[in-house]
Amino acid sequence: MFKADKEFQEEVIHIGRITKVVKGGRRFRFSALVAVGDGKGRVGIGLGKSKEIPVAINKAIEKAKKSLVNVPLTEDGTIPHQIETKEGAGRILLKPSRPGTGIIAGNTARAILKVCGVQNIVAKSIGSNNIHNLSHVLIRALGSLRSKEEVLKQRGLI
């Protein structure tokens, strides 16, 4: 049922079970939050909902592929600069780190950063611990990163 795509890596962040109580009993549905990335600086997240888990995951993967963000990475496998981003009640702090550090982050941030291709980073979530809010604020932070060349070009130095 899963389509094998060599270009992208998929990481299931969260599977939620939604229960609707009706006259005859309970009806279950599932939501899946999935991160998709190519390991070279492109990453996206998607939320899929369905009556079965595999279908929800497939829907989430398709949505994630449509919402890819480019992330500038350095030769060391880290981000070019420190950034703190806020969206709603969620805030996230991303710090570049030296080679050999690894990904120091919570489960949600670790899954997204891993499929993105980041190898050395320190991430701290501040405020909300809601998985959906954290994933959205992390994608926003990664999308607003600028490489050294982009900054120099904007300033007219190149």
Domain map of the chain by residue range? 9-69, 71-146
Q: What is the CATH number of domain 71-146?
A: 3.30.230.10
pLDDT score for 5: 60
Axis crossing angle, helix 107-116 with helix 131-143, rounded to the nearest 10? 40
- For residue 1, name the pLDDT band (cuts at 50, 70, 90): very low
> How far is it, in rounded angstroms, from Cα 87 to Cα 69?
17
> How far is it, in rounded angstroms, from Cα 156 to Cα 35?
36
> How far is it, in rounded angstroms, from Cα 127 to Cα 23?
39
pLDDT score for 158: 80
Q: Does the reported pTM lie above 0.85? A: yes
The top-level CATH class assigned to 9-69 is alpha beta
Strands, sheet with 83-87, edge to edge from the N-terminal-most edge strand? 83-87, 90-96, 121-127, 103-104
Residues near 130 by beta carbon (within 8 Å), at least 6 away in sequence: 89, 90
Q: Supply the mean pLDDT for the chain.
A: 92
pLDDT score for 14: 96
